[in-house]
Amino acid sequence: MEPQVSPQVLATFFAYAPLALGIIIYAAFYIAKRNETGAHVPIGESFACANCGRRGVREHMIPETHEGAVSWYCTHCAAASAAPAH
């Protein structure tokens, strides 16, 4: 005669299994991530010009918005695009 698992024990096991797995996964991620340092932005952060690729600090770049997006242009490219075409 083989031993059988009662339906109540089986139901209890499957009721607590997602909770136990969730706690195990959360604990594993916590242990893996606890010693990571945040991504700090360097002081000399630079942006690339959307036209020529020249890099410059944000204060020297000129933003242009189009359809909800922001593109950064260097002063040379922004002046060239603002100049009237002959």
Q: Please give the Cα distance from 28 to 3 (Å, whole number).
A: 35
In a domain, 16, yes or no: no
Please choose, from the candidates 64, 60, 27, the residue with its C-alpha nearest in 3D space to the C-alpha of residue 45.
60
In a domain, 61, yes or no: yes
In a domain, 73, yes or no: yes
pLDDT in tens, 59-74: 888 888 888 888 888 8
- Judge whether 49 and 61 are in contact, CB under 8 Å: yes
In a domain, 69, yes or no: yes
In a domain, 52, yes or no: yes
In a domain, 6, yes or no: no
pLDDT in tens, 9-40: 999 999 999 999 999 999 999 999 888 776 56
Q: Based on the structure, what is the number of domains in the chain?
A: 1
- Judge whether 49 and 80 are in contact, CB under 8 Å: no
In a domain, 58, yes or no: yes
Please choose, from the candidates 82, 85, 83, 84, the residue with its C-alpha nearest in 3D space to the C-alpha of residue 62.
82
Residue 62: domain span: 46-82
CB-based contacts of 71, cutoff 8 Å, min separation 6:
50, 63, 64, 65
In a domain, 25, yes or no: no
Global pTM value = 0.42
What the block records as the tokens of 6 is 């009662």
